[in-house]
Amino acid sequence: MSVRPATHAGSWYSGDGTRLRSQIAKYFAAAATVTSPIPGARILVGPHAGYAYLGPRLAETFAAWDTLKVRRVFVLGPSHHVYFRQRALVLAYAAYDTPVGQLPVDTEVCAKLCAGLLAPFGYMLEAVDDDEHSFEMHAPFIAQRAQEAGVEVKIVPIMISGLSPELREKVVAALAPYMEQEENTFVVLSDFCHWGRRFGYTEYVPGQDLAQCAEYLARRQGSNEIWQSIEFLDRLAMEIALGGKTKLWDEYIEETGNTICGQKPLGIVLRLLEKGGTGGGGFKWLGYSQSSQVTDPHDSSVLYASGYAVVG
């Protein structure tokens, strides 16, 4: 089995290892003012775009990571270029290359997940993986954080596309035993709202009070800048994810149509947390930012959030 090349290095982020390591270290230094390793924080969520846009958010995500017992990292992300619905897909490569060092893939776990004709997992084509950017954007942060913590980790990248309720339950059932083991971390790759005509989403919510979501939604009066409306939609999603109820998450996505690209991986992990009975609820949020503050209907923006959940 071959090594997956860093196909977006030199464009979405620096391909120079020394420069990239220094850049990530600066992001981590800034994130230390927001958070530090949190006991039991082995469920993480962070965005996946160019580091110029979201480096601080990714650093917050991985600064919270409890690496004390970690040996394996399940990375769940969306598919941006191909659609499939019969199975979730795992990596066919033996390792992920990054400018700051390779990340070995746990090929044994990948094989177990794919075993059997009725398994809810299959292998993704190498060309599909090479085109996908989301997993690659997290890989250098995982590699550098693990190196700094002095731990060796293997990764299990899982790509999600079409996801029926039945397939989600099968995926959850297959992953649940790994969630129970303290050596496993789960990382969700997700940007939040993609707003603008080029994304096919221009939802606008009127109102003024962004601090009181339920009251604000009931009033629906007054006016906001577009970027404030977008933030409201995202903050409401974050509030629901904090509550940890999969049913409410599904209803929110159905009602708002919010273009959260990792909504399905998030739903899987919320279901894992819900079934695990950890008592810790859902995701706690660390940071939120927008690629631009939209004031004109012809503009567009992508939104980024960092967070974690505690297990155990």
Domains for the chain: give ranges and CATH numbers: 3-194+261-310 (3.40.830.10)
Q: If you search the block for the tokens 């230390």, which residue do you land on? A: 32
Among the listed residues 217, 209, 205, 265, the one whose alpha carbon sits nearest the alpha carbon of residue 241: 265
pLDDT of residue 1: 67
Amino acid (1-letter code) at residue 280: G
Amino acid (1-letter code) at residue 273: L
Residue pLDDT, tens place only, 250-281: 999 999 999 999 999 999 999 999 987 555 57
DSSP annotation of 296: S
Across the range 139-168, mean pLDDT stands at 94
Across the range 75-96, mean pLDDT stands at 87
pLDDT band at 210 (very low <50, low <70, confident <90, very high): very low
pLDDT over 80 (residue 132): no
C-alpha 79/C-alpha 134 separation (Å) is 8
pLDDT of residue 277: 55
% the chain with pLDDT above 70: 91
pLDDT of residue 230: 93
pLDDT of residue 53: 86
pLDDT over 90 (residue 209): no
pLDDT of residue 17: 93
Across the range 299-306, mean pLDDT stands at 95
Strands 121-123 and 41-46, how do they pair?
A: unpaired
pLDDT of residue 54: 86
Across the range 95-124, mean pLDDT stands at 94
> Of 2-16, 99-113, 115-129, 271-285, which gets the smallest average pLDDT?
271-285
pLDDT band at 131 (very low <50, low <70, confident <90, very high): low
What are the residues whose beta carbons fall under 8 Å from the beta carbon of 210, sequence distance 6 or more? Answer: 216, 224, 228, 231, 232, 235
Q: Is 260 helix (H, G, I), strand (E, B) or coil?
A: coil
C-alpha 242/C-alpha 245 separation (Å) is 8
% the chain with pLDDT above 90: 71
φ/ψ of residue 23, rounded to 5: -65, -45
pLDDT of residue 146: 96
CB 31 within 8 Å of CB 63: yes
pLDDT of residue 306: 96
pLDDT of residue 79: 80
CB 38 within 8 Å of CB 131: no
pLDDT over 50 (residue 220): no
Q: If you search the block for the tokens 């009931």, which residue do you land on? A: 218
pLDDT band at 218 (very low <50, low <70, confident <90, very high): very low
Helical packing angle, 165-179 and 263-276, nearest 10°: 60
pLDDT over 50 (residue 219): no
> Of 40-49, 132-141, 155-164, 183-192, which gets the smallest average pLDDT?
132-141
Mean pLDDT of the chain: 89
